[in-house]
Amino acid sequence: MTSTADFQAIDAAHHLHPFTDPGDLARKGTRIITRADGVFIYDSNGNEILDGMSGLWCVNVGYGREELVEAAAKQMRQLPYYNSFFQCTTPPAIELSEMLSEISPAHINHVFYTCSGSEANDTIIRMVRYYWACQGKPTKKAFISRKNAYHGSTIGGTSLGGMTHMHKQGDLPIPGVYHINQPYWFGEGFDEDPNAFGVRVAQELEAKILELGEDQVAAFIGEPIQGAGGVIIPPDSYWPEIKRICDKYEILLITDEVICGFGRTGKWFGADYYGVTPDLMPIAKGLSSGYMPIGGVLVADHIAETLKAAGDDFHHGFTYSGHPTAAAVACANLKIMHREGLVDRVATELAPYFAKVMQPLADHPLVGEVRTTGLLGAVELMQDKSSHQFFENKGAAGTLCRDLSIENGLVMRGVGSTMIMCPPLVITTEQLDLMAERVAKTLDDAAKVLL
Ligand SMILES: *Cc1c(COP(=O)(O)O)cnc(C)c1O
């Protein structure tokens, strides 16, 4: 068997990792995850680690699901691949499309398949501009998004996203994408009433539409709750105000459901949680619980009907759009979610329990705020909570805390100095207790170094 050191050397010699400083990783050596079961992952040194991030926000039904393995094997024996170009399709893609239309809001009944969330957002840029052209409004091309948003890592996804460190590499965003402030109350509006702050930052959308001209603006895109940006949960006033503005100016609303979709908030979609009706919803991650790469765009009826009436091809698609094996696994995943009532279980049992065990950590000397919605959580690390002072080097504080967390047997991520969590939807209350204990121990360990 290959030893950890051998694995690390080979990896350093040949593998460039995503979102990683390759020189730094080569020096430190990567952690090699070899297997997983339920909510636990195991590394090549035999350590058991509670996966508080569901992989990358995706393993919603947990690891080790034989049913998903069987669904893939069965489909691969029958028909491993066929495309959905040229007037063809496959039974799993058909079945999944119907299942998605059943769980999505009533006015959304079509799906365009991709292999990832990034591709879903690139698809949206093309589909939305084409839609407006079909509507006789070809000048409606601009997208308005938020600073610190995450919509993927392709050219389109990075452009729609609002991460300046990503924009710097590769001359992005592309022209025609604009970013307003995010609804990050704790970080950027702390001295205001949260709901007043929520309305104020939502109204930046209206100001931007008026500045650009309604006839130039195609759509607004936002994650219902920003994930990679640091689990930023908007004040309750935010989304209704955004929706009001989109309607007033005939601007399409896109809720990026790549993380919030599939039960994460205790509803099927984040839009349902906030009671807004989007026109388009990019999906991925929890769609297959990460067992297969698959994403898509859920499309409202008025847009689908426009495309159907256009009399032309939508000249867009991927070799693996509607991949039958990935679709079969996604169907099996959704069947598990239905059968085990996971969405309701998050709403009624797990979300309240998660909030209950996490909230007491707000009293910790290192912690300025704890916030949770559904099974998304964030803990804000502070240099001095009494004067609302953040660490000067936020990233260093977060990274230290993240590394200590792994040593304590918990995957928790740091975004700046915000520690974030996103456990699988099958976690038990006992395992949530264990998670909270490990977060508390990590905060104690971090405080010894940082305070
Ligand atoms: C992860 C993510 C994406 C990108 O999905 P990939 O499958 O990594 O391309 C897009 N939007 C949001 C909100 C995400 O969290």
Residues 295 and 427 in one domain: no
Residues 368 and 307 in one domain: no
Structure token digits, residue 79: 């028909």
Residues 323 and 386 in one domain: no
Residues 203 and 330 in one domain: yes
Can you give the pLDDT at residue 2?
Answer: 82
> Is the pLDDT assigned to residue 145 strictly greater than 90?
yes
For ligand 1, atom 11, name the residue with the nearest CA: 151
Cα–Cα nearest to 146, from 164, 128, 120: 164
- What stretch of H or E contains 118? helix 117-134
Residues 276 and 355 in one domain: no
**Quick check: 139 and 214 in contact, CB under 8 A?**
no
Residues 386 and 287 in one domain: no
CA distances from 313 to 146, 156, 302 (A): 32, 21, 17
Task: Give SS3 for 291.
Answer: coil
19: exposed, middle or buried (Cβ count in 10 Å: 0-12, 13-18, 19+): exposed
Report the residue among 254, 285, 288, 420 best suited for mutation to probe ligand 1: largest number of ligand atoms under 8 A from its CB.
285
| Dist. CA 366 → ligand 1 center (Å) | 30
Can you give the pLDDT at residue 349?
Answer: 98
* Domain end marker among 321, 339, 357: 339
Q: Is this structure's pTM higher than 0.85?
A: yes
Query: Has residue 7 been placed in a domain?
Result: no
Domain of residue 129, residue span: 67-339
In angstroms, the first-to-last Cα distance of the chain is 43
* Domain end marker among 301, 317, 339: 339
36-74 pLDDT per residue, tens:
999 999 999 999 999 999 999 999 999 999 999 999 999
Ligand 1 atom index nearest CA of 260: 13
**CB-ligand 1 contact for 284 (6 Å cutoff):** yes
Is the C-alpha dihedral spanning 226, 228, 229, 230 positive or negative?
A: positive
Residues 226 and 86 in one domain: yes
- Sorted by sequence, the CB contacts under 8 Å of residue 237 that are 6+ apart come out as 194, 195, 196, 198, 199, 202
Ligand 1 atom index nearest CA of 284: 7
Q: Out of 18-27, 227-236, 402-411, which region has the weakest mean confidence (pLDDT)?
A: 18-27
| Dist. CA 41 → ligand 1 center (Å) | 22
Integer Cα distance of 228 and 374 in angstroms: 16
Is the C-alpha dihedral spanning 393, 399, 400, 405 positive or negative?
A: positive
Ligand 1 atom index nearest CA of 56: 1
Q: Looking at residues 97-111, what average pLDDT do you find?
A: 98
Residues 291 and 438 in one domain: no
Q: Mean pLDDT, the chain, as a whole number?
A: 97
Integer Cα distance of 174 and 126 in angstroms: 13
Structure token digits, residue 22: 């390759």
> What CATH number does the domain containing 235 carry?
3.40.640.10
Can you give the pLDDT at residue 1?
Answer: 66
| Dist. CA 384 → ligand 1 center (Å) | 33
**CB-ligand 1 contact for 118 (6 Å cutoff):** yes
Structure token digits, residue 383: 């240099």
At CA 417, angle to CA 380 and CA 403, rounded to 5?
Answer: 110
Residue type, 90: T
Give percent of the chain with pLDDT exceeding 70. Answer: 100
| Dist. CA 152 → ligand 1 center (Å) | 5
pLDDT band at 375 (very low <50, low <70, confident <90, very high): very high
Report the residue among 121, 166, 258, 288 best suited for mutation to probe ligand 1: largest number of ligand atoms under 8 A from its CB.
258
Report the residue among 17, 116, 160 best suited for mutation to probe ligand 1: largest number of ligand atoms under 8 A from its CB.
116
Cα–Cα nearest to 154, from 198, 193, 205, 116: 116
Ligand 1 atom index nearest CA of 115: 7
Residues 36 and 95 in one domain: no
**CB-ligand 1 contact for 222 (6 Å cutoff):** no
Ligand 1 atom index nearest CA of 293: 7
Report the residue among 53, 119, 122, 150 best suited for mutation to probe ligand 1: largest number of ligand atoms under 8 A from its CB.
150
CA 327 vs. chain centroid, Å, equals 20
* Domain end marker among 313, 339, 365: 339
- What stretch of H or E contains 371? strand 367-373
| Dist. CA 20 → ligand 1 center (Å) | 17
Residue type, 225: I
- Sorted by sequence, the CB contacts under 8 Å of residue 307 that are 6+ apart come out as 127, 130, 131, 134, 299, 314
Query: Has residue 186 been placed in a domain?
Result: yes
166-207 pLDDT per residue, tens:
999 999 999 999 999 999 999 999 999 999 999 999 999 999
Query: Has residue 52 been placed in a domain?
Result: yes
Residues 320 and 400 in one domain: no
**Quick check: 424 and 262 in contact, CB under 8 A?**
no
**Quick check: 128 and 280 in contact, CB under 8 A?**
yes
**CB-ligand 1 contact for 259 (6 Å cutoff):** yes
**Quick check: 224 and 271 in contact, CB under 8 A?**
yes
Cα–Cα nearest to 116, from 235, 283, 246, 229: 283
Structure token digits, residue 444: 């104690």
**CB-ligand 1 contact for 116 (6 Å cutoff):** yes
For ligand 1, atom 5, name the residue with the nearest CA: 117
Integer Cα distance of 298 and 262 in angstroms: 13
**CB-ligand 1 contact for 442 (6 Å cutoff):** no
User: Could you give phi then psi for residue 321, rounded to 5 degrees?
Assistant: -60, 125
For 321-363, the three-class secondary structure string (H helix, E strand, C coil) is CCCHHHHHHHHHHHHHHHHCCHHHHHHHHHHHHHHHHHHHHHH
**CB-ligand 1 contact for 61 (6 Å cutoff):** no
| Dist. CA 193 → ligand 1 center (Å) | 31
How many separate domains does the chain show? 2
